[in-house]
Amino acid sequence: MDKKCSPEEIEKKRLQALARKQQSQLNTQTTPRNSPMQQPNHNNSTNVMRSIRKNNRFNPIETKNFFSRTSVLTGKCYMISNERFALEISSFVPAVIETFKTLPSRAYDVKSRIWNFHINEYDTLMQKLIPHESNISITQIPQTILQIFKKSLQSDHKNILKQDLSKIDKKLVDSLMPFQRDGICFGISKSGRCMIADDMGLGKTIQALGIAHYFQESWPLLIIVPSSVRYQWSETIYEYLPSLPMHYVRHFTSGKDCIEDAKIIIISYDILIRAVNILEKHIFGFVILDESHMLKSNKTIRFQAAQKICVHARHVVLLTGTPALSRPIELHSQISLILPRFIRYEDYGIRYCAGQKNVFGWDFTGSSNMQELQLLLKTTCMIRRLKSDVLSQLPSKTRQVIILDSDLINTHKRMNEMAKKLKNNTSLEHNTLLQYYTESSFVRLKAVCNYVTNLFENKRKCLLYAHHQNILDAICNVAESMKIKYIRIDGKTNSEQRKHQIDQFQERDDYLAAVLSITAANAGVTLTAANLVVFTELFWNPGILCQAEDRVHRIGQNDNVIIQYLVARNTADDYIWPLIKNKLHVLNAAGLDQDLSIDSVDTTVQKKRGQQDLTSFLNTSLSLEKQSQSQENKQKNDSSPEASTSTNDFKQLLEIDEECFDSCSWDDIA
């Protein structure tokens, strides 16, 4: 007779069967159809399912780990001269080296360990490397770039600077310096399509007029300039091209003006935008674009208006002392006006701007292949000379850094909080940086006014640059309180007032100060009557600083020039100076050298208030002199020294990690 189970045992077995069924269904859902299901191992005593574990541990001595892996060699080609290119490989591979040795023009640089070859053997080398394609990946030179350099080999470079200038007005030709004559010959050899990127103060205006007069049969001539310098252009034309009737020259001052029979039209960039529809109806055979770095972005309305005019011109000349203010990508839009079939924007960005594609599109804020870019620009359209190269007789320029008195820098709680936020966060908001820069202008006011007061007491003619209106206003207030005559040029100064004030400063000795906005008076101004330039606050763009310096250091200056930068600790200066330094390195690598050396500067600490100067002891009695000297010695023991012979303190102040600036576009800050 069968043994009967109790209701409790029946219920227990029913639950176990139900659990096994659910587990079986779960295994069926999670196991791929193509792979066999692992067989469970049942334990009869406990009815627990145990799966067989698979050993997935890495075995370093398995055969597949030796023979399935292949190392890929990487290499990149780039131009190192107009005739030769280099092939840089990541590691030594005997088979590839043997291929290099089969080319007659091969050369090996022992220091850099890089092979280079003649450009005519480029295609041959690439063909011989095809059998190694499975083991080598080479970044080649784009065919467009290659063809430009090959075509350059066929041109006669010796005759480029030997042009007949008899078609140009004799007065202009007679006034040319040798390097200016070379610039005109270069422009003529490029059929009047070039960029003259000489250093500020080397006479780019005269060179452009010389090229334009050579191609006079292509006129009418359109000269597009910043509004502040348009009258200087007309005066230069009257002076150096006297053979032209004065009625040939006309200023286009509004969108309603008529061109009629004018041969030379001078127009500002702002009016160009408003009058582009009128100007499009006329074909200008020759176009000059002064300060062309204002067209650095192809997305602006200003650039698009200029492009509509230049597309119909036979000759286009760009003038700028700073072709790229910060990044190599700023050059592409300008060059495209000269050479419409230049490299595509994306190809240029990838090749020369270390282009990286992200979720927002291409990022072209970097730099790469700078040596090749420098050669490419000089080969196609650009000529650039520095003062140090062509004007050895020009007076020297000395830079000094004045560390403002810390007792006069009134930092407050909000400033300290912003400084702490900038120091701790690597991804910074645009507004935070701008606010910190603005707040710094207020806390340095007292120290700046104290320094400017000492300058005015010495009755020395000088230029005083600032960016914020509150500092400009404070300097003017100091000048008025001391009855010092001065001129002021900022964004509110129109062209007529600007010219009148410049003439006053240049011609009258009683005008001791020029109070200038860094952004409004950094170009198109000649102020050689002074030889001292003081930047009362820093600016983040090295190109703008160079331009501002050269309002004094240019042709016509007879004295040594002194440039002073006033720097305040625990302000935005701690971050701006390293940023300037980094941008300078990028521009210099591209051959767009800026005459701004900040690595070796004289550093001075601002005097304390009440600290006596040695000149105060002249013409006094011996007893008073001894008494004053004892007081001075006591003050020196209690206070910091007047000047520091070492720049260590200042370098420590400026050696700040600038990774926090990577996500901030300083150039967009107005």
Domains in the chain: ranges and CATH: 70-154 (3.40.1170.30), 166-390 (3.40.50.10810), 397-611+637-668 (3.40.50.300)
Q: Which residues in the chain land under pLDDT 70?
A: 1-4, 28-71, 156-159, 325-326, 391-395, 424-430, 583-670
Instruction: Give the Cα separation of 146 and 427 in Å (integer).
Output: 40
Whole-number pLDDT of residue 588: 64
Task: Give residues with Cβ within 8 angstroms of 527, minimum separation 6.
Answer: 463, 502, 505, 506, 514, 551, 552
Q: Is the distance from CB of 561 to CB of 531 less than 8 angstroms? A: yes
Whole-number pLDDT of residue 638: 43
Q: Is the distance from CB of 352 to CB of 317 less than 8 angstroms? A: no
Q: Is the distance from CB of 141 to CB of 79 less than 8 angstroms? A: yes
CA–CA distance from 223 to each of 98, 165, 285, 631, 662 (Å)? Answer: 57, 22, 11, 63, 37
Which one-letter DSSP state was computed for residue 289?
E
Structure-block tokens of residue 5 = 């189970």
Structure-block tokens of residue 514 = 């020029």
Q: Is the distance from CB of 608 to CB of 404 less than 8 angstroms? A: no
Sheet arrangement for strand 286-290: 249-252, 264-268, 221-225, 286-290, 315-319, 193-196, 382-383
pLDDT tens digits, residue range 38-94?
A: 444 444 444 444 444 545 555 555 544 444 445 678 899 999 999 999 999 988 888
Query: What is the helix (H) or strand (E) element at residue 127, kind and residue range?
Result: helix 122-128
For residue 526, the Cα-to-chain-centroid distance in whole angstroms is: 24
Q: If phi over 0 gives left and psi between -120 and 50 gives alpha, with beta otherwise, what is residue 166?
A: alpha
Neighbouring-strand partners of residue 511: 485
Task: Give residues with Cβ within 8 angstroms of 171, minimum separation 6.
Answer: 240, 241, 242
Instruction: Give the Cα separation of 326 and 594 in Å (integer).
Output: 11
* Side chain identity, residue 533: V
pTM higher than 0.75 for the full model? no
